[in-house]
Structure 1
Amino acid sequence: MRQIFYFLLCFIVFSCAAAKYKPTKINGVSFVAARDVIDQTHTQPIISINANAAAIMPFGFLKDVNHPKIIHNTDRQWFGETRAGAKQYIETLHKDQIEVMIKPQIWIWHGEFTGFLKMNSEADWKLLETSYTNFILAYAELAEELNVEMFCIGTELEEFVKNRPAYWHQLIKEIRTIYTGKLTYAANWDEFWTTPFWPELDYIGIDAYFPVSDMQTPTVEDCIKGWEKHKPGLKAFSEKLNRPIVFTEYGYRSVDYTGREPWRYDRSMTSVNLTAQQNATQALFEAVWNEEWFAGGYLWKWFINHNDAGGLEDNQFTPQNKPVEQIIKAHYKNAL
């Protein structure tokens, strides 16, 4: 009898050891910074859609794409954009067992694209690097203090990365001396191929605004077909670097042609198309979420005051109080 038990135990142990580890998917939201503190009335709607993670996004500000000094953590910012606000948000989310990624972001006045951030002189590059290091390390320290699960070292900074690769390699080393959790970077969907430091991070992070359909109201089938143009490259890239891919942002506006240029947020697109948002989101879930190379993602975007957000007349990214919210809820329930 003892021998039978021993062999059974060995079988179980070795079978488990041989099985491929499948981590829990990140079923996340991008939790937008606001003026106020939050409590569990603000986190409950996240739990209600079965999300298990949230990105917290403190902000730094620049005057223009050639300006080297980042203004951050001031009393002129909204509470949620500051270090104290990020801390309060994280502590509240952690109380509800929601994992957190801190994703510090830069806002350039007039909404200029951060990917174009580029200095005109070596002196200005040095000033920018010093300013960015101070900005990032302040939140790396916070991430370590609060046992934050993931830290994002930057968001859509293509020209900065391309022109100053040595700086970024050194910055990652500095972050590693402070923060012991998982690291990623949020590369734009057409930028990540050339980002030079993925081997030094834990995840390949992509803001996943891949074009998937030219239809005014894309069907689920058409968007799935659109994803087939991107998936082989994503899979091969993940395997080459031996790193999982996380969508540091993903989502679609409830607007006509939402799958054609999903990154667009300008006010010139005035239609409201809830079906387009539903279908494009459903297709992303069906096409990508169960792939082994894919670690999950953070939905763009989720506002703290749920009852006042989104709605049937809203054509922006948020899924709140729109039909697509139920699609997300159902998918996140089954994708844990």
Structure 2
Amino acid sequence: MKFKKWLILVTILSIFDTTNYYLDIYKEMYKTEVGQNIIIFSRRQFNEKDKEFLARLKDSGIENIAINQLFYQDSINSNDIVEAIVPEEYINDLIKEAKNKKINLLFRWAISSRDGKPRTEINPQNFARWFENYKKIAMEMAEFSEKNEIPYYSLGCEIDHIVSRHKENFIELTKEIKKIYSGKIGYCWNVVSTSNLEEILSLEEILETDLIFLDCYLPLTNPKKAKWQWLYYLDEINGIASKTKKKVLITEIGYRSVERSNERPWDWHYKGNFDEEIQQMCFETFFQALREYPTIYDRVNHVEMAFIWGSGYGDLTKIEEDSLGYTPWGKKAEKTIIDHAKSCHIFKKN
């Protein structure tokens, strides 16, 4: 009788251990949470539609948002950085509503050029004067993030060549920000190829940031092998994380719903036929790679969050089946994203 009781106990414990083992595997598979970038290109007030948008995100299992504030300069060679486009009142209302819904926050700010050229080409005539303006904004935005208890802050976005040429200025800026901001700091690198990742490693080893932020627009040249391409990219990214001992946030990932968007995901000018299947494939293979990476490579996945990019302000209640832009909402990719997000939510709670 004692033997039978012992056998039953061993069996129960064995089942419990097996359950925990598989639970740990699934937790690792669904480790990378989904986030959504909030992008506003007009001056307006926070309204009921915005509240609906955040509620829909929460219901979809997306519990992280990146708030984007945009500043402008007249041309890529200008020395002056002028007004912010998003009213502070709007951002304050957005933060309040997000916190009410227990949505986590990342605060990002970026500079756009009014001459229509990409920020990656910004090259001020007088760097000292330009950086004085830049530092002032970076400190003000860090102070704003601290005041609002925002846990993640980006000190810049996609001006990689400037950071590379003026490393000491940005190392010093990071130190200054840490005196007034207690959250986690990163800088958003522009990633369009693995050669970008090599340079990022050399810079992240000396920059005193807490996390690695990556705006990922990596090409998937062969749809049939797209998952394996993403696995390769993830291994390169995790290699940087391991060497620098920093976790990774993919602060932007996006693919347009237009033919061949998998080949040039960064190209928002390209005109072609509407293709939501290619957009869905890109997201599906990305999430598949995230889930399978720990098992296939037998390594830790250091990517903690991935924030979806959208063209303009996303509205999850609006169907945009004819839109060629980055927004996945109202298209086939929406279900792919939500399925992963909800699974992350389930395993995070267990």
Normalising to structure 2: TM-score of the pair? Answer: 0.80
What residue in structure 2 maps to residue 205 of structure 1?
Answer: 213
Residues 1:306 and 1:228: Cα distance change in structure 2 (over 3 Å): closer
Q: Over residues 211-265 of structure 1, what are the superposed CA-to-partner deviations in whole Å (9 max), with x where a residue is unaligned?
A: 1124xxx3xx421022243233222211111112211100211111121111110
Of 110-119 and 129-138, deviating more is 110-119
Task: Decide whether the 8 Å contact of 2:197 with 2:236 is kept in 1.
Answer: no
Say if 1:275 and 1:30 are closer, same or farther in 2 by CA, change over 3 A. Answer: same
| Partner residue in 2 for 1:125 | 127
Comparing 235-244 with 188-197, which one deviates more in the overlay? 188-197
**Shift in CA distance, 24/150, structure 1 to aligned 2, threshold 3 Å:** farther
Shift of 1:192: 4.5
1:27 matched to 2:27? The reply is no
Q: In structure 1, how many angstroms separate the alpha carbons of the residues matched to 2:141 and 2:96?
A: 14
2: CA distance between counterparts of 1:316 and 1:58? 20
Structure 1 SS opposite 2:317 = helix
In the alignment, what sits opposite 2:82? 71
Q: Secondary structure at the match of 2:106?
A: strand
Query: 1:154: how far off?
Result: 0.7
User: How do 1:100-179 and structure 2 match up within 5 A?
Assistant: 100-120=105-125, 124-179=126-181
State the shift of 1:110 in Å.
Answer: 3.4
Distance 1:110 1:49 in 2: 38
Paired residue type of 2:251 = T
Residues 71, 111 of structure 2: 8 Å contact kept: yes
- 2:304 paired with 1:295: yes
SS where residue 335 of structure 1 aligns? helix
Cα distance between partner residues in 2 of 1:25 and 1:153 = 23
SS of alignment partner, residue 115 of structure 2: helix
Alpha-carbon deviation of 1:304? 4.9
Q: Give unmatched runs, 5+ long, in structure 2.
A: 1-23, 295-300, 346-350
Matching of residue 316 in structure 1 with residue 321 in structure 2? no
Alignment: residue pair count: 303
What residue in structure 1 maps to residue 5 of structure 2? Answer: none
Match of 2:69 in 1: 58
Deviation at 1:47, TM superposition (A): 1.3
Aligned to 2:12: none
Give the equivalent residue in structure 2 for 1:6. Answer: none
Secondary structure at the counterpart of residue 246 of structure 2? coil
CA–CA separation in structure 1 for the residues paired with 2:182 and 2:33: 19
CA distance in 1, matches of 2:315, 2:234: 35
Q: Where in structure 2 are the equivalents of 1:128-277 lying within 5 Å?
A: 128-189=130-191, 190=193, 191-195=196-200, 196-197=203-204, 199-214=207-222, 218=223, 221-266=224-269, 268-277=270-279
- Of 316, 322, 325, the residue aligned with 1:306 is 316
Q: CA deviation at 1:90?
A: 1.3
State the identity %.
19
RMSD: 2.3
Aligned mates of 1:222, 1:186 — CA distance in 2: 28
Amino acid across the alignment from 1:303: Y
